[in-house]
Amino acid sequence: MTEQHLDSTVSREGSRVSYQDKETLWKGYENYVRELALKEGAENIAELGGGAKTILADNERWGFAGKRIIVDISAEELAKAEAENDVETRVLDLCKPVPDGREVYDIVFSKMLCEHVPDGQAFHQNCFDLLKPGGLAVHYFPTLYTLPFVLNRLIPEEAARKLLRKIQPGRIDNPKYEKFPAYYQWTTGPTKRAIRRFESVGFELEAWHGAYGHHYYHLLKPLDAVEQAKSRFLTKHPVPALTSFAVVTLRKPA
């Protein structure tokens, strides 16, 4: 399979903020983190919220790291990870003070976790504390204020699960694709306010890749066509507050 890369389509604020299509952002994320790890010479890497759909357990792609650990709040989800013996797992609530393991990791990363943490400030402060000086935190997450994510935040969880069953049949019944409550703390587009939030816990913004659009309207073809046209327009003429997904790379100062 051809590797996907997060190449910049449109850049803002120097080279720190860029925009590309949502498929590139999604499919290119694992390669992006791996290339960062290789470039940084990362030896100790932690995947946060890896649980059942872990990336880091792939020995062929990630075996170069001396220490790999998958962190999740749920022991049940970690049990689904099917990690090899040389990959550690740890049950940890990243919204509470971390008792040990500070300044250990060269890179911590997550995919579709940030929207599920109820305290964005505590979570990102823990990410900062887990990193060695000069280390990187990398996160992929959906962003407000895209309508499906606003609804996911506002409507009761049981109603959201019923709606998801119609939009994505079979997903909730798959033990590796469970739906969890979403809070969308610190998960907006690359506005100045959002960047200042990350800076408030000590991070420096290395890069912010934003993308527009989604496929939640696929059952309503005319509405889906409008959504895709809007996404193409915004990719060329970006409005930071209207992104749908983000990949954020943050550096802890050396």
CA 182 to chain centre: 13
Q: How far is CA 30 from CA 4, 126, 213, 245, 247, in A?
A: 9, 22, 20, 15, 11
Q: What is the DSSP letter of 146?
A: S
Identify each DSSP E strand in the chain by its residue range.
10-12, 17-19, 44-48, 67-72, 87-91, 105-111, 131-142, 204-211, 245-251
The count of residues in the chain is 254
Structure tokens at 140: 């992929």
Tens of pLDDT, residue by residue, the chain (254 residues) = 334 567 555 555 557 999 999 999 999 999 999 999 999 999 999 999 998 889 999 999 999 999 999 999 999 989 888 777 789 999 999 999 998 889 999 999 999 999 999 999 999 999 999 999 999 999 999 999 998 899 888 887 777 666 666 666 665 555 555 657 899 999 999 999 999 999 999 999 999 999 999 988 888 899 999 999 999 999 999 999 999 999 999 999 99
The position carrying tokens 């990193």 is 131
Structure tokens at 64: 């170069």
Q: How far is CA 15 from CA 7, 37, 207, 208, in A?
A: 11, 20, 7, 9
Domains of the chain: 10-251 (3.40.50.150)
Q: How far is CA 122 from CA 141, 185, 193, in A?
A: 17, 10, 17
Residue 2, pLDDT score: 39
> What are the two backbone dihedrals, phi and then psi, of residue 126, each rounded to the nearest 5 degrees?
-65, -40
Nearest alpha carbon to residue 109 among 135, 74, 131, 139: 139
Nearest alpha carbon to residue 156 among 193, 187, 182: 182
Q: What is the DSSP letter of 240?
A: G
Residue 197, pLDDT score: 98
Q: Residues with Cβ < 8 Å from 46, sequence gap 6 or more?
A: 68, 69, 70, 71, 105, 107, 108, 109, 130
**Percentages of the chain per state (helix, strand, coil), in multiples of 5:** 35, 25, 40
Residue 242, pLDDT score: 96
